[in-house]
Amino acid sequence: MSDLSATPRHAVVTGGIGGLGTEICRQLAGSGCHVTAVDLAARAERVAAFRDEVADLDGAIGFEAADVSKFDACAQLATRLQRQHGSIDILVNAAGITRDASLRKMSPEHWHELLQVNLDGVFNMCRNVIDGMLTRGFGRIVNISSVNGQTGQFGQTNYSAAKAGVHGFSMALARETARKGVTVNTVSPGYCDTPMVAAVPADIREQIIAGIPVGRLGQPADIARAVAFLAADAAGYITGANLPVNGGYFMSF
């Protein structure tokens, strides 16, 4: 990560204590970044477990509580982190929720709640870090979408809409920032071995695995490796791209 720079890059990972977020934090720290994991304060017991999980990384990963669905909270977080660390060089937007229901049963609350985290959260974080990245002439933004944003999924009109929107956002922002050393890309995981997928009924999970050419669920490390690749200094010629990491589950050109 810090391959071309003298000082360690500071990376912020939202949803940073989640199934994928934890591994993203670990891989970014492993490649030389100082990392701040951002997640909901309400998950106090999970925060304690997270601190244990990253204890071997010698303080390279810190934790900050914030709700990405709240613009003012993200503004305060960005100000605080930039004061503490001097900059936010890398932003990974991995905070996400599901509120599954077929459209006929989906309440407006489930629609708005999901959009506020999965799509507004990306805006709220990017809007509050972008000025600093443009001023310094360096930035890497990686937004986590989903294969279900590419294909659509039964019971997920809200999730699929938000995740498709995330990549539209990445492409538009990539155009706005390309001349200033800031890249914006999307990683679209397929089905991964995380609590989000463990919650899917076992028979449906087996059907999903049967449809994955590689023959297994993705591991968090598979996703984190793609994120770290796009977050590297050396990845400056890749922007506005979507990198699918789905074991061949959905292939497109």
Catalytic residues, which ones? 159
Q: Which residues are 92's β-sheet partners? A: 13, 142
Which of these ranges, 9-17, 80-88, 202-210, 235-243, lies near ligand NAD under the rule CB under 6 A? 9-17
Q: Which of 124, 157, 194, 239 binds ligand NAD (CB under 6 A)?
A: 194
Quote the distance between the C-alpha of residue 219 and its chain's center.
Answer: 15
In the complex with ligand NAD, the residue whose CB is nearer, 15 or 132, is 15
Q: What is the enclosing helix (H) or strand (E) of 10?
A: strand 10-14
Q: Would you count residue 17 as binding ligand NAD (CB under 6 A)?
A: yes
- Indicate the residue type of 85: H
Is 27 an interacting residue with respect to ligand NAD (CB under 6 A)? no
Of 36 and 194, which has the nearer Cβ to ligand NAD? 194
Q: Which residue's structure tokens are 């204890």?
A: 55
Write down the least CB distance from residue 95 to ligand NAD, Å: 4
d(Cα 243, Cα 253) in Å, to the nearest integer? 11
CB-based contact 11:231 (threshold 8 Å) = yes
Does position 68 interact with ligand NAD (CB under 6 A)? The reply is yes
Tokens of 42: 């309400």
Can you name the residues that pair with 218 across neighbouring β-strands?
192
Count of residues in contact with ligand NAD, rule CB under 6 A: 27
- Closer CB to ligand NAD, 192 or 232, in the complex: 192
Structure tokens, 81: 């982190």
Phi and psi at residue 44, to the nearest 5°? -55, -45
Q: Does residue 67 touch ligand NAD according to CB under 6 A?
A: yes
Nearest alpha-carbon partner for 221 in 6, 8, 19: 19
Which of 52-60, 168-176, 185-193, 204-212 is the region at the interface with ligand NAD (rule: CB under 6 A)? 185-193
**Cα(250)–Cα(80) distance, integer angstroms:** 40
244 part of the interface to ligand NAD, by CB under 6 A:
no
Residue nearest to ligand NAD (CB): 18
Site of tokens 């709640």? 113
* Contacts (CB under 6 A) with ligand NAD, residues 97-156: 97, 117, 144, 146
Residues that bind ligand NAD (CB under 6 A): 14-15, 17-21, 39-40, 43, 67-69, 94-97, 117, 144, 146, 189, 191-192, 194-197
